[in-house]
Structure 1
């Protein structure tokens, strides 16, 4: 089943110059970028995006990190895109991520873990709408 998911290449991965490797991994797995932009997320934008975590102790440090430098925000399209991307990313903690996953290869720790990906169809729809007007998405 073809679907879309949001992916973010986080500031730590952008700083390491691994954008190309990460996008290559998406494409090798059959995920096609249909929208992409590089941006520096304002802290307020990060707070809105991660509002679901507002009561969690890591909320402020997460938002500070996500606004600390450029990110690459993408919409990936493909069969079972959400699950495929979650599998490619690996566990949130890179130390627990399977070898060969993006986080195992490029993440430093649970906070600096290289990438974000939507966790469900509902979340993907909300996250995509947060960053991309429909007219900016390739059909």
Structure 2
């Protein structure tokens, strides 16, 4: 079943010049397509909406500061089992626990700056795509 997922290449990915590397890993997967993409520095309102479930947690303020610290690349990827697949490609949040071959396993250094976000379910993907692409061009169909 074809799905769509939101992927964010976070400010550390952009700063470290790893955008092309991560995009090429996504594009190399047969049957996956990037259907929307934008480079932008995320505003506070967008970040508050996206990370609302984490408000009040100890890592919330540092996360918000990090995510607003520079440009990110927001993209929508479409394909067969893409939600599960991109999360596997990203690897676990902790780069020490992430397997070699995953983005975080190959390039991650610390938990807080973990290079990539990928929706964790169809419901999250639908909600997150609407936050980052509200004009509907990348709406989940």
TM range (shorter): over 0.9
Q: CA deviation at 1:133?
A: 3.1
Any idea what the Cα deviations from partners look like across 1:32-58, whole Å, max 9, x if unmatched?
110000000123321221001112110
Distance 1:130 1:44 in 2: 10
Task: Please report the TM-score for the alignment, with normalisation by the length of structure 1.
Answer: 0.94
Whole-Å Cα distance in 2 between the matches of residues 58 and 82 of structure 1? 25
What does 1:1-139 align with in structure 2 at a 5 Å threshold?
1-30=1-30, 31-133=32-134, 135-137=136-138
Unaligned runs of 5+ in 2: none
Distance in structure 2 (CA, Å) of the matches to 1:133 and 1:49 = 13
Shift of 1:81: 0.7
Aligned residue pairs total 139
Deviations, residues 11-34 of structure 1 (Å, cap 9, x unaligned): 001001110110000111232110
